[in-house]
Amino acid sequence: MQSKMNAVKNRPKELTTILIILSWMTYRILGFIFMPSIEVFGGDVLPTAWIIPLGQDALIGLTAPIVVYLLATRPKIITYAIGLAWVWWGIADFGVGLVTEIFQPPFKSPMGENTPSLVLTGWLLTNLALELYAFYLLLTPKVRNYFIASEKDKPLSLKKTPLSGKWIFAIVAAALTGLFFPIMAMGINGFFKMLGY
């Protein structure tokens, strides 16, 4: 019981920010949603090269809840290492997405014909910045030392995790964003159409 209290008492406030950002990465399940848009699958929106960043996005989105759960409830060195590796993979995937966008741009905007292509680039860069910030926070001594010091602690219950487990709502919201992204894209497209694009 004492070790659980130590983990809660010594938890750095940066861990909450990390969990929220990584929970948000669940939206990347939209990789599955856009797979039919890829040329190799009969789509007419994205060249075949997009299978790599979208496939990775789908896997990252599926594994995000698991990684967040482990980081929140199992403060251990192995969990910390898994978190670092997973975030680095997500950063690399955004890099692949940006390079793919430059060398194999979409045939037409996946967000609709009236949406400027810079919107997709902005989306990628904004989410890349979030993930870079989470990576930076994971590397801070306070966060690293928390995982090292909690090595012998028992797993935390959801109530003892940051936000008392309410980061689960961020996972659900992000998953819904990913699943219903095509509807959001129609709204974005309508907005730009209204502006005359």
pLDDT of residue 175: 97
Strand partners, 46: 38
Give the model's pLDDT for residue 5: 55
- pLDDT for position 4: 52
**Reported confidence tier of residue 120, pLDDT bands at 50, 70, 90:** confident
Indicate the SS3 state at residue 46.
Answer: strand
Using alpha carbons, list the distances in angstroms from residue 106 to 11, 34, 47, 113, 194: 44, 12, 6, 11, 23
CB–CB of 43/37 below 8 Å? Answer: yes
What pLDDT, in 10s, does the model give residues 63-89? Answer: 999 999 999 999 999 999 999 999 999
Name the pLDDT band for 150 (thresholds 50, 70, 90). Answer: very high
pLDDT mean over 140-147: 97
CB proximity list for 29: less than 8 A, separation 6 or greater: 57, 58, 61, 62, 175, 178, 179
Chain-centroid distance, C-alpha 156? 23
